[in-house]
Chains A and B, each alone.
Chain A
Amino acid sequence: MKRALAFLLLATTVVAACGGNVAASPTPSATASATATAKPIQVGLVTDVGGLNDKSFNQAANTGRLNAEKDFGLKTSVIESKKQEDYVPNLTTFAQQNYDLVIAVGFLMQNAAWKVAKQFPNVKFAIIDGAPANDAGNTENLPNVANLFFKEQEAGYLVGVIAATMAKNMVGKATHNTVCSMGGIPIPPVDHYIAGYQDAIKTISPTTTILNGYSNDFVDQQKGKEVGLNHISKGCDILFQVAGGSGLGYIAAAKEKGVYAIGVDVDQIDVAPGTVITSAMKRVDKAVYDTSNAVKSGSFKAGDNFFSATNDGIAFGKLDPVVPADAKAAADKALADIKSGAIKPKTDLTVK
């Protein structure tokens, strides 16, 4: 049946004809899509060039997609972009097939999402970490685009509180009163984490030495590990990574030398138990999940949607047993203070 339909579509040469989306559906239920009521909500996810295995936000977004599919009975698909020029056609692919929600993962897609969303005003879009940006490079909000932002500095601040408390009190292997961080490359979404981290350390433990470095890579683990070994040789015993796959090498350095590491984006406590003491979490999965649900329930909100400590879009991950109660208490208090607005973590680096 669907094969016959696919052949039919193959013969069509008019783009408009592709709007039927029948052949596109791999599930038998698609045959019922003739009636609008039976049509399940369709959510399409387009990754940036990092791909689904990026150990970072693309992967988290995909987790959110799969959870939403399961919990809300949605029909979902994903396309991994291999090149920057694929963003527009990939977003267009879902929009042309009348998907209800098309999610662009990553700030790299801000301009592409603006272009496509303008062409398809009846399709809803969401951009992880971004807002639609026009050809001049300026933000231009659209009525059918939700901008999903995360306050990374809050997550950085929370784990910074834990690191600072442990460094100050010389807990466990943290004996040198020196803490470090490593970014992939110096760009805002990375530096926000590190800025919040440094802000917390400066606030809580002003005497603690802070170092920061970059692997200049989001993939290469050996580079991340070398930066880590270099930091450890300078006395660092708590290492915070914001570098995707390369950051796993940074954690590996901490593991090898028996010091502590802090994970990023997702809960990385299982990456190296006993080494990773907590993670600065950015709940991209939750953003995708919630936005999918919002489309289904009719509560989709265009424009800026912030995922922060306030709505549990930002959090610190599971804690290793070595983290003392006072450090956890301090982090919990910081979380409350960020929610209440008493603390506003910085977004600019203190130590470059």
Chain B
Amino acid sequence: MTIDQLIGAGVLAATLRLATPILLAALGGVVSERAGVVNIALEGCMLVGAFFGVVAADQSHSVVVALVAAMAVGAGLAAIHAVAAIHLRSDQIVSGMALNILALGLTSYLDYQFYGTTGTPSDLAGVPDIEIAPLAAVPFVGDVIAHQNAIVWAGLALVVLIQVFLFRTVPGLRLRAVGEHPRAAETVGIAVRQTRYWAVIASGMLAALGGAYLSLSVAHSFTDGMTGGRGFIGLAAMIFGRWTPVGALVASLIFGYGTALSFSLQGASIGDVRVPVQLLSTLPYVLTILAVAGFVGRSRPPAADGIPYETEGHA
């Protein structure tokens, strides 16, 4: 076990890459739950984002079109959840689970129909890396951040934007009011349901961007179920981060770091005993539990989170 395996530039760069999809899902969760709607369909939104991003990139040969399409489909899936949660007063968890199953079934089905025999095209337009030339020569720092993907930076920028939006702007305050005390929010003239719709749709777009990151930045292809539960990890990161964007970032980075370690430490030994590669893979999960138990502790969801809002006297 060497220092390089623990905190080398390679490990830290990998941490950022591995944290990004989880971060984007977590940000989606923050926006939705701050407005009072539990969106467990983040996983499904990621998956449709990943798939339809690839389809759009294949058809249009344009990364911009691909990302817009991915986010639009994510928004669409989230909108279905919004209708269920806000208007139909469905159980939000069941609705979310249903949409997750739907997304997995639909993307696998269409993947087989479109690309079953050939696989997704190899010349897919991918999201480019951002080369920061002045930093590239700087030792260590350059290796960590000078060649990261555009969506990694977008994720970090979104943390700042959403943090400022939620806690420093009037619309953000309104959104939080809707999640904390919808009745009061309505009495001061905030359109509760409308706000919730926009929040859920935004959460679908964010998660879909995370999915598109996996297919268009990382893999340059789509494979069934490629999101691998990151939507749920994102949900955990949201709670870990106490429903704040900055907190979600910290949580995602810790998780990403654990995952990066599980790869860099392969082959490492403790004394003479070689650490089984399978047990190394538990690192990010154990690390997350320890971090939450040790440093975060109790966290409180928005008061009206998950409760459908019924307008008074609107019969």
Q: List chain A positions with a Cβ less than 8 A from chain B.
A: 51-55, 59, 63, 185-186, 213-214, 216-217, 219-223, 225-227, 229-230, 233, 245, 248-249, 252, 255, 270-273, 352
Q: A219-B223, A271-B122 are in contact. List 16 more A-B contacts (CB 8 A).
A: A52-B116, A53-B116, A55-B223, A63-B117, A214-B277, A220-B228, A221-B223, A223-B228, A226-B14, A248-B219, A248-B221, A249-B219, A252-B219, A255-B220, A270-B119, A271-B119
Which of B237-245, B246-254, B260-268, B296-304 lies at the interface with chain A? B260-268
A-B contact pairs, 25 of them (CB 8 A): A52-B116, A53-B111, A54-B224, A214-B266, A216-B278, A216-B281, A219-B223, A219-B226, A220-B226, A222-B17, A222-B228, A223-B259, A226-B14, A226-B18, A226-B259, A227-B263, A233-B10, A245-B224, A245-B226, A248-B219, A248-B223, A252-B220, A270-B118, A270-B119, A272-B122
Residues A270 and B260 in contact, CB atoms below 8 Å apart: no
For residue B23, CB closer than 8 A to chain A, the reply is no
**Chain B hits for A220, CB < 8 A:** 226, 228
**Chain A hits for B260, CB < 8 A:** 226
Contact with A along B84-119 (1 / 0, CB 8 A): 000000000000000000000000100110001111
Contact with A along B1-38 (1 / 0, CB 8 A): 00000000010001001100100000000000000000
Which listed residue (A53, A227, A233) contacts B224, Cβ 8 A? A53
Which residue of B has the minimal Cβ distance to A351?
B267
Measured CB to CB, the closest approach of chain A to B55, in angstroms, equals 15
**Chain A hits for B14, CB < 8 A:** 226, 229-230
For residue B225, CB closer than 8 A to chain A, the reply is yes
**Chain B hits for A252, CB < 8 A:** 218-221
**Chain B hits for A226, CB < 8 A:** 14, 17-18, 259-260, 263
Select the residue from B214, B219, B224, B277 with max chain A CB neighbours within 10 A: B219
The 6 A-B pairs at the shortest CB distance, nearest first, are namely: A221-B219, A245-B223, A220-B228, A216-B281, A53-B224, A222-B218
Contact with A along B206-244 (1 / 0, CB 8 A): 000000001000111101111010000000000000000
**Chain B hits for A55, CB < 8 A:** 119, 223
Measured CB to CB, the closest approach of chain B to A276, in angstroms, equals 9
Residues A221 and B119 in contact, CB atoms below 8 Å apart: no
Known: A220-B226, A245-B224. A230 touches B218 (CB 8 A): no
**Chain B hits for A255, CB < 8 A:** 220
Which residue of B has the minimal Cβ distance to A230?
B263
Bound form: Cα–Cα A221–B226 in Å: 7
Q: List chain B positions with a Cβ less than 8 A from chain A.
A: 10, 14, 17-18, 21, 108, 111-112, 116-119, 122, 214, 218-221, 223-226, 228, 259-260, 263-264, 266-267, 277-278, 281
Measured CB to CB, the closest approach of chain A to B36, in angstroms, equals 32
Bound form: Cα–Cα A51–B277 in Å: 26
Bound form: Cα–Cα A274–B214 in Å: 22
**Chain B hits for A230, CB < 8 A:** 10, 14, 263-264, 266
**Chain A hits for B21, CB < 8 A:** 222
**Chain A hits for B219, CB < 8 A:** 221-222, 225, 248-249, 252
Which listed residue (A213, A229, A249) contacts B266, Cβ 8 A? A213
**Chain A hits for B281, CB < 8 A:** 216
**Chain A hits for B10, CB < 8 A:** 229-230, 233
Which residue of A has the minimal Cβ distance to B10?
A233
Residues B228 and A225 in contact, CB atoms below 8 Å apart: no
Select the residue from A53, A255, A352 with max chain B CB neighbours within 10 A: A53
Residues A53 and B214 in contact, CB atoms below 8 Å apart: no
**Chain B hits for A52, CB < 8 A:** 112, 116
Bound form: Cα–Cα A273–B14 in Å: 26
Measured CB to CB, the closest approach of chain A to B218, in angstroms, equals 5
Bound form: Cα–Cα A221–B277 in Å: 18
Residues A249 and B277 in contact, CB atoms below 8 Å apart: no
Which listed residue (A51, A219, A227, A233) contacts B228, Cβ 8 A? A219
Bound form: Cα–Cα A52–B172 in Å: 46
Residues B263 and A213 in contact, CB atoms below 8 Å apart: yes
**Chain A hits for B17, CB < 8 A:** 222, 226
Measured CB to CB, the closest approach of chain A to B112, in angstroms, equals 5
Bound form: Cα–Cα A196–B153 in Å: 42
Bound form: Cα–Cα A222–B214 in Å: 7
Which residue of B has the minimal Cβ distance to A229?
B14
Select the residue from A52, A63, A222, A270 with max chain B CB neighbours within 10 A: A222
Bound form: Cα–Cα A271–B119 in Å: 8
Residues B228 and A217 in contact, CB atoms below 8 Å apart: yes
Bound form: Cα–Cα A216–B283 in Å: 13
Measured CB to CB, the closest approach of chain B to A182, in angstroms, equals 10
Select the residue from A51, A217, A233, A252 with max chain B CB neighbours within 10 A: A233
Measured CB to CB, the closest approach of chain A to B12, in angstroms, equals 12
Bound form: Cα–Cα A230–B15 in Å: 12
**Chain B hits for A233, CB < 8 A:** 10
